[in-house]
Amino acid sequence: MSAGAEAWRGWCGGAVAALAADSDLLLAAAGAAVRLFDTRTRSPLTTLWSSGATGVNAPARGAAGEVAVTALALAPGTHRLYTAAGDKLRLWDLRMLECVSKMWSGHAAAVMCLAAAARGGGDLLCTGSKDHYVRAAHCAPTHGSWDVGARRLLEPPHYDGVQALALCGDTLYSASRDSSLKRWSLTDNCLTHGVMNAHKGWVTGVASIGDDLLATCGRDAAVRLWDAQLRPAARAAAAPHAAHALASHPDPQLMTIYTAGNDGRVRCWRMRQR
């Protein structure tokens, strides 16, 4: 793997906590803001705020109720974006750049990661939290708004907070502060495999690249590749920073991932076969 020689144009304004990527769009959460970037021009577009406001300029503090955004997830093939701040979730319509619903996550602590996929007239939404648990639910439109139903709790929990999730079909991958990586089957809500010490320290990001590859990053400043059975697929690559967030480009043929960390920059990685 090789990192881009130049970091992403446009500062995110602080440490990046979460990333999400679409074909022409990259989103980075830093503080109470979610910055939208155009991947073709590498320029910032606009900003979404944890209070539900939209625009480049920050809303007035206090009255607006701004808190840190800790997680992002795009439902592939749709214009829907999910964000988490504390134990609350928001659903955004990116066509109108508006918040269309606010939901409770069901967790007993802050939600640190999200994963979403369009399913059955709505979305399958998975959440991971500081309470060590992973949950799955179905979000669907009802009477002009969106509601959460069919909630599921995946057990056993991690030994520490869940930091990252990745959906691949009916398989869910979760990464935790306990240094582990887990694979879950959402057809029967059970754990199918787990890897302890996937990184030295917290595993802070996980992203699927097509159906056969998985990328992870951690506090050890390493980016690792795994196959679908969670076996190492390549030597670890050294990152120029300890990445806090990881996202993959939706086109697996591009073999591209994005990482971000404390320096407020987003870096692009491309995988090469040797």
pLDDT, position 190: 95
What is the pTM (predicted TM-score) of this model?
0.86
pLDDT, position 38: 85
Q: What is the pLDDT along the chain (274 residues), one digit of tens a residue?
A: 444 434 444 455 567 778 888 878 888 888 899 989 887 877 788 899 998 888 877 665 444 568 899 999 999 888 999 999 988 999 999 999 899 999 888 899 999 999 999 988 899 999 999 999 999 999 988 877 788 888 899 999 999 999 999 999 899 999 999 999 999 999 999 999 999 999 999 999 999 988 889 999 999 989 999 998 999 998 888 887 788 788 888 888 888 888 887 777 788 888 776 5
pLDDT, position 9: 45
Query: Within 13 A of 187's CA, how many CA atoms are on the CB side?
Result: 5
CATH topology of domain 2-270: Methylamine Dehydrogenase; Chain H (2.130.10)
